[in-house]
Amino acid sequence: MSEFTVTAVDVHGRLDHFLSRQLPMHSRAYLQQLIEREQILVDGRAVKSGYRLRAGNRITVTLPPPQPSNTVPEHIPLDVLYEDTHLLVINKPAGMVVHPSPGNTTGTLVNALLAHCTQLSGIGGIERPGIVHRLDKDTSGAIVVAKDDVTHRGLARQFADRKVIKHYVAIVRGDIRQAEGVIDAAVGRHPVNRQRMSTHARAGREAVTEFRVLERFGLYTLVELRPRTGRTHQIRVHMASLGHPLLGDPTYGRARKELTASPLVRQLAWFRRQALHAGFLGFTHPVTGEPVECRAPWPDDLARVLGVLRSENRAGV
């Protein structure tokens, strides 16, 4: 059981918002479920998720005991960038789902981790052991996994406090005029299509992404992206909002009709996933206090795309 006391800083704030900050390893939806089940009490009594806090409120959180997982270990090869007794960093391939979900019960990173590790943290729930953060299915690159709950909590706190350094590289459509810049646009569920995210959501959350141009290829640009926040599809939505969606993005990257006739566009038609790679991940080790910095090599498909772009650029196409 965990216990918190409300100070003046948090007075009048919502209970679920307060708990999201105190327990960043759990989603707000999960915490709201615990509130509804009366496993989270304020001064010993049940309240609603929107309860407005008062100074001195004593909040007790009783987490349910872990349940056995039905996820089956699978001996799937993993590209391990770093590993010790507390955590590991994986270079996740594009096409791999991070954790099981309806329709994706096998072949996930969690399936592979259960075969690779003898122990994973249980904070993420029975279907998400060890998972501190996520990458989209078709985004490749570095992802950190916790082997124990202490490490998980420490990593989750660093993500919540924006102390984890994340560098992505992406190939986007068009020639970005600015050499660098900052995109500050809230991201939330699309008002019509709930499967998409948007910068025009009715209730978007703060989202900030820094970008820097690395190479220009006329119809495409190679950029480095540093998200300060971690919203769902943040980079993909932000770049699309600038008019420069990611190459191959099936959700946000539909090409304009006048571009589809380009020989270069047709030459890259085989590339069917968003051209996004988490190339660098840096954080402080929650147990040793030492800095951990991991660089994930480019995957073969992105390297092939980049080779085509550089070749065509030299040819003056």
Is residue 259 over pLDDT 60?
Answer: no
DSSP letter string, 174-201 = S--SSSEEEEE--BEE-SS-TTSEETT-
DSSP 8-state symbol, 251: T
Question: Mean pLDDT across the stretch 96-101?
Answer: 90
Element (H, E) at 82: strand 80-83
Q: Cα 295 to chain center, whole Å?
A: 17
Query: Considering the chain, what percentage of its residues have pLDDT values greater than 70?
Result: 93
> Which residue reads 């924006």 in tokens?
162
pTM of the model: 0.81
Positions marked catalytic? 136
Residues 140/92, Cβ–Cβ less than 8 Å: yes
Kindly indicate the confidence band of residue 261, based on its pLDDT and cuts at 50, 70 and 90: low
DSSP 8-state symbol, 303: H
Categorise residue 269: left if φ over 0, alpha if ψ from -120 to 50, beta otherwise. Answer: alpha
Beta bridge partners of 131: 145
Residues 82/88, Cβ–Cβ less than 8 Å: yes
Kindly indicate the confidence band of residue 180, based on its pLDDT and cuts at 50, 70 and 90: very high
Is residue 178 over pLDDT 90?
Answer: yes
Element (H, E) at 29: helix 28-36
Is residue 312 over pLDDT 70?
Answer: yes
Question: Mean pLDDT across the stretch 190-202?
Answer: 84
Question: Mean pLDDT across the stretch 200-210?
Answer: 89
Q: What is the pLDDT of residue 260?
A: 59
pLDDT digits (tens, 9 = 90+) for 20-69: 888 877 778 889 999 999 999 999 999 999 999 999 999 999 987 655 56
The strand pair at 165-173 and 276-284 is best described as antiparallel
